[in-house]
């Protein structure tokens, strides 16, 4: 009932910048929070950044000052990544949670988009 489509993955050089986007669609009544998570090679999935409906943000220590999460009113969330490091190489997943029109809660994940930082 909720679909998330991520875009923007690719190959980036160390020190470079990149922007990820995620569009949510479906029977969404309201969105409480949106976020980005990532899973690097041989690692578990970890939180990168989250943003609430009131625009409060939270970042992993490893990305503070380099990444910025934002959203718009069209059910999209973005992740601006600056000063990328080799350790940022991962599959990045979008996460959205909220209420459907039938007032059921949803907690949905995107399919993931690969970001590779390499020279």
pLDDT digits (tens, 9 = 90+) for 66-83: 999 999 977 999 999 999
The reported pLDDT for the residue numbered 103 is 93
pLDDT digits (tens, 9 = 90+) for 25-84: 999 999 999 999 999 999 999 999 999 999 999 999 999 999 999 999 779 999 999 999
Q: Measuring CA to CA, how many Å separate 61 from each of 4, 75, 81, 117? A: 26, 26, 14, 19
The reported pLDDT for the residue numbered 74 is 76
Answer positive or negative: Cα dihedral of 100, 22, 93, 68.
negative
Q: Is residue 39 a contact partner of residue 46, using CB atoms and an 8 Å limit? A: yes
Q: Is residue 33 a contact partner of residue 52, using CB atoms and an 8 Å limit? A: yes
The reported pLDDT for the residue numbered 73 is 79
In angstroms, the CA 98 to CA 51 distance is 13
């Amino acid at each position: 009932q909720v679909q998330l489509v991520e875009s923007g993955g690719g190959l980036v050089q160390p020190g470079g910048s990149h922007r990820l986007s995620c569009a949510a669609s479906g029977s969404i009544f309201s969105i409480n929070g949106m976020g980005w998570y990532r899973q690097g090679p041989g690692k578990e999935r970890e939180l990168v950044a989250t943003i609430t409906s009131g625009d409060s943000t939270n970042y992993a220590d490893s990305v503070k000052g380099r990444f910025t999460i934002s959203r718009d009113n069209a059910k999209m969330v973005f992740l601006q990544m600056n000063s990328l490091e080799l350790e940022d190489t991962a599959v990045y997943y979008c996460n959205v949670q909220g209420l459907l029109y039938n007032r059921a809660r949803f907690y949905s994940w995107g399919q993931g988009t690969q970001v590779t930082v390499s020279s």
